[in-house]
A and B are shown apart, each in its own frame.
Chain A
Amino acid sequence: MSDIIKIKEEYLNKLSEVSDLKQINQIKSELFGKSGKISNEFKKIGSLNSEERKGISSQLNATKSELQNFIEKKIKDIEINEINSKLKNEKVDVTLPERSFSRGKIHPVSQVIDEISSIFSEIGFSVEEGPDVENEYNNFTALNTPENHPARDMHDTFYLDKNKEILLRTHTSPVQVRTMLQGKPPFKIIAPGRTYRSDSDQTHAPMFHQVEGLHIDKNINMSHLKGCLNYFIKEFFEVDKIRMRFRPSHFPFTEPSAEVDIGYELKDGKIIIGEGDKWLEILGCGMVHPNVLRNVKVDPSKFQGYAFGIGIDRLAMLKYGINDLRAFFETDYRWLSHFGFDPLDVPSSYRGLSR
């Protein structure tokens, strides 16, 4: 009995003085090894009578776990101390640059196409596409612009053959023709894409982007056209209110036709879209001409609707303050980094159109 207490006290003292793992392991084997002191005490129990045995063994067990716990704790303390002392030498200058990474960017035209698609998606338009190389019929004739029509002068067309039958589309409107020829009404589509005109200066590039819109159904009228574009412009420019003016104009493929102006003001040389007193022409639209519907085998006495065409590059310029159209296509690394968008910034209605 007294042996046990003696052992306990002796070793608790010993332990409280040691400070390295080696010594602790030494103590561990002195106590619990094959002929360790505690092990020996356990061996002695066999020779005791049952009465004594009960008391001693419970005392012995308690002592054993007390010592063991103490040792465990001691080991942990030492380990923590060791880590702490190591840490003193493990300091780096975290202001040094990280391992290298590079940021990719999405071109403003692509970003704006995604913004536009997201807005029109909300009101039920789906996206259609058509080829860049078109025949003269789809680009002009089917769109009520027969040969010798003065309106053909409005488009400086790139041709791929001498007979002027194959060309680079001058607008996205031929997608209307293709879509309507392939399907049955109702149609509710937008068609973004590349378009081409042989024109080149500060505000004209030989290639640019348009988005075509087409909504054909029974009973679609000009008030729906106005509503659709009003919705789109407000959403796109992310403003609550916008001044908008529908001005009569002429396109061979729509009638009545309109050009749409939006209000803006200049603040410190920047264009602010919204309620300013100046007008900015932004798109062309109208009710699809019955001749066009007839050309694509849609009965104009049963179906009618509207179409519009918007310059995508111009929208991007206005929204993001870009001055020079030609810079869009000149692949200047500095320009792309400056005006490009983070690839994770996907425009959507629930996450917001733009940051």
Chain B
Amino acid sequence: MSVVATDLAGAVEDAAAHLYVWALKDIPQDLRDALAAAAGTETSVTGQRVLQTILRNVNVAEEEKNLVCQDTGIAVYYCRVGEGFPLHPARIYESLRIGTERATVEHPLRSNTVHTLTRENTGPNVGYRVPIVHWDFVPDWDGLDVKCVPKGSGSENMSFLKMCVPADGVTGIKKFVLESIVGAGGKPCPPGIVGVGIGGSADYAMHLAKEAIARPVGTHNPDPLVAELEGELYDLLNETGIGPMGLGGDVTVLSVHIEHADTHMTLNPVAVNYQCWAARRASAHVAADGTIEFERDA
């Protein structure tokens, strides 16, 4: 029993160490396609200059085996744990932490994590409550899915929450998203993915917005009403003219993803979490026997 647990802990650690570096170097195909499509439609001179440089950069990162962006982010993981997976989440967390640390030291990667008051660096991208791990538990299953989303600060600093009131309705939601993205301007490295969380509670709306940015470009919310709102916001945001890197142009966002939850009858929370054009993410599946399968585009 303990042998299995030790091996599995090592497997999760290996998965995390690989995912963190891989996500930083090799951005997913859906994103590459979206960036190429953006370059195909952008008409402004500065916008084209930015998008061509982005496309060149993605290729250079591949050729040089270098990071796409220097910001190695704050390590965020999404875990889906099967009820039969033979390693307890407490141990999974420990493995993710060690894996993050190993990737940072071995590569080496820039260490970003600091104490929030003293601002002193806490070590190799780990610290108190870092990495940040979100959990989902799946019945009748014995696997583990891990998605690593290193989140850059330029885009994370452009996060916004508003407790709209029910009378603000859907119009209030739309206005807040528009206001947020126009206000963010070039700071979050547009064109990127706009994550919107609606419903739930204040904290849960932001959690949903973050979950939304981790979805592949081109995916839609399964609820047709919500999916329609994604499409409408995408069109409206691309009317604003903020453009690539906020220098003006046609393409302001690549995609709008909304996640929702039911809410209290007097609540109408809306949260915005931005993901830059270098929307890093990489996934792995760890089987109960410790076999790891990596999947870039999940």
Say whether A and B bind each other. Answer: no
Q: Which residues of B contact A (CB under 8 A)?
A: none
